[in-house]
């Protein structure tokens, strides 16, 4: 009987943990204190056959805010999942609220093939005076991109993912 109770208890703990993911993710998005748990990010997928050069960049249109990626370039196979951090810095002596970086993808044809599991454009951030925040993005280039005639040309295998930040 003790073995059956242990199995039921273990199964109950697993189910409770699974149910608690959504409230935890809501807490993370509301407070920017933690990173949400995205289960689909951890499910393995077949690696694609084509390599893509992904250039990460930021356009700073604000005098008070500075955004930059921690890595400038990645070479990824389609269906390979990546996580990259961006540093957001407040250069002013006052708090900035509702800071929301705006996503852009070049070439525009690539945007429909990029799945963002976590995007800076999904949240607004508050950042204190002279504060530095590390913000992450998680993304994958969908394998369907390999069938697109535009990307069959190897000259089009560079994708720029960037964020604009303004006052």
* Annotated domain spans of the chain: 1-37, 38-165
**Which ranges constitute the DSSP H helices of the chain?**
2-19, 21-31, 149-152
Q: In what helix (H) or strand (E) does residue 107 lie, and over which residues does it extend?
A: none
Q: In terms of pLDDT, which residue wins out, 92 or 118? A: 92
Average pLDDT, the chain: 84
- Those residues whose C-beta lies under 8 Å from the C-beta of residue 76, and which sit 6 or more positions away, are 51, 52, 54, 82, 141
The CATH number corresponding to 38-165 among 3.30.70.3000, 2.60.370.10, 2.60.40.420, 3.20.20.370 equals 2.60.370.10
How much is the pTM? 0.73
CA distances to 75, 87, 91, 95, 99 from 128, rounded to whole Å, are: 34, 14, 9, 4, 11
pLDDT digits (tens, 9 = 90+) for 79-98: 888 999 999 999 988 888 88
Check: CB of residue 65 under 8 Å from CB of residue 96: yes
Q: Cis peptide leading into 4, omega within 30 of 0?
A: no
Q: Supply 110's token pair.
A: 């690539």
């Amino acid at each position: 009987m003790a073995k059956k109770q242990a199995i039921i208890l273990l199964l109950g703990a697993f189910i409770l943990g699974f149910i608690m993911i959504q409230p935890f993710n809501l807490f993370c998005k509301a407070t920017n204190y933690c990173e949400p748990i995205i289960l689909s990010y951890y499910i393995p997928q077949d690696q694609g056959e084509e390599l893509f050069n992904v250039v990460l960049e930021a356009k700073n249109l604000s005098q008070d805010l500075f955004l930059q990626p921690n890595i400038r370039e990645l070479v990824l196979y389609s269906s390979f999942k990546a996580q990259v951090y961006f540093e957001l810095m407040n250069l002013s002596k006052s708090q900035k609220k509702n800071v929301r970086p705006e996503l852009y993808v070049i070439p525009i044809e690539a945007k429909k093939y990029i799945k963002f599991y976590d995007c800076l454009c999904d949240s607004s951030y508050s950042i204190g005076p002279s504060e530095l925040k590390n913000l992450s993005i998680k993304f994958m280039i969908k394998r369907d991109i390999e069938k697109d005639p535009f990307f069959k040309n190897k000259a089009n295998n560079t994708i720029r993912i960037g964020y604009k930040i303004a006052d």
